[in-house]
């Protein structure tokens, strides 16, 4: 059952801090990745590209944890345990630009050497929220 983000959690998540997204592989192995994110209508939006380990893990098992720590105060943190409720391939390219503007102040430019990326947005429903934030 979804939960509402507390004012403290929402305040921290509204700031452009990098989060660490933890997933579990189909073999039960943990995997963690730094991610950009934003809060949208009570959900958390994360973006990735097709073929990434975190995406494969979440397609097999959509549960995750996202931890965000304020770099100015390590005692101000929040962990959101949640579930991906939508894998959106239509909004992927638009959403990575929105995230890049939030974190870098400009639209996203891909720096890799394996051709253009196919972006996927993940819409996460918070199920539990922990932390003093």
Query: Tell me: the pLDDT tens digits for 52-92?
Result: 999 999 999 999 999 999 999 999 999 999 999 999 999 99
What CATH number is given to the structural domain containing 90? 2.30.110.10
Residue 45 pLDDT > 90:
yes
* CB-based burial label for 111 (10 Å; 0-12, 13-18, 19+): exposed
**End-to-end CA separation in angstroms for the chain:** 21
Question: What value does the mean pLDDT of the chain take?
Answer: 94
CB-side exposure of 101: number of CA atoms within 13 Å? 6
Where in the sequence is the domain holding 53, given as residue range(s)?
7-108+119-130
- Provide the domain count of the chain: 1
Q: Is residue 2 part of a domain?
A: no
Q: Is residue 1 part of a domain?
A: no
Using 50, 70 and 90 to split pLDDT, how confident is the model at 20?
Answer: very high
Q: Is residue 126 part of a domain?
A: yes
Q: Is residue 114 part of a domain?
A: no
Q: Is residue 113 part of a domain?
A: no
Q: Is residue 102 part of a domain?
A: yes
Quote the tokens at residue 76.
């101000």
Q: Is residue 24 part of a domain?
A: yes
Measured between alpha carbons, how far is 88 from 80 in angstroms, rounded to an integer?
20
């Amino acid at each position: 059952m979804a939960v509402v983000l507390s004012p403290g959690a929402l305040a921290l998540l509204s700031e452009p801090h990098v989060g660490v997204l933890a997933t579990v592989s189909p073999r039960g192995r943990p995997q963690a990745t730094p991610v950009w994110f934003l809060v949208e209508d009570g959900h958390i939006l994360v973006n990735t590209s097709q073929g990434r380990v975190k995406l494969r893990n979440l397609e097999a098992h959509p549960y995750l944890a996202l931890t965000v720590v304020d770099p100015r105060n390590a005692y101000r943190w929040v962990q959101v345990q949640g579930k991906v409720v939508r894998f959106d391939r239509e909004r992927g390219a638009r959403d990575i630009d929105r995230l890049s503007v939030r974190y870098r102040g400009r639209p996203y430019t891909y720096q890799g050497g394996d051709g253009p990326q196919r972006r996927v947005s993940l819409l996460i429903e918070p199920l539990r929220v922990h932390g003093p934030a």
